Amino acid sequence: MPNALPTGLHASRPRIFVGGSEQPTLSGGLLSMMIGEHLSGLYRCEIKFGNWGPVNNNIDFLYFDRQLLDFGTAFLGHKTARIVHQKE
């Protein structure tokens, strides 16, 4: 019997884009994401990724080389449909 009623649950993991390209490893390694806005105009964004995994057949840090993520790198969370951070 097909499930005619929605379950009320759906996947809510955002897709992460860096420099216009989707990065599924970042989406999979997302630990937390918080965007806060206030009426006074103050806002902030915190995104935490796991930085430990397979690198060249070893277990090591993933992003310390700054090839994918660096200070000022533009990235976008697809569920928010807004640029989360972009270098001025």
Q: What digits encode the pLDDT tens for the residues 20-49?
A: 888 888 888 999 988 888 888 767 778 899
- Cα torsion 65, 70, 74, 78: sign: positive
Cα separation, 14 vs 11, in Å, equals 9
Which of 13, 12, 14, 23 lies closest to 74, judged by CA?
A: 23
Task: Express the helix, strand and coil content of the chain in percent, nearest 5 each.
Answer: 5, 40, 55
pLDDT value of residue 51:
92
End-to-end CA distance of the chain: give it in Å, rounded: 55
Model pTM?
0.63
pLDDT tier, 82 (very low <50, low <70, confident <90, very high otherwise): very low
pLDDT value of residue 20:
81
85 DSSP assignment: E
Higher pLDDT, 61 or 12: 61
Residue 61 has pLDDT above 90, yes or no: yes
pLDDT value of residue 50:
93
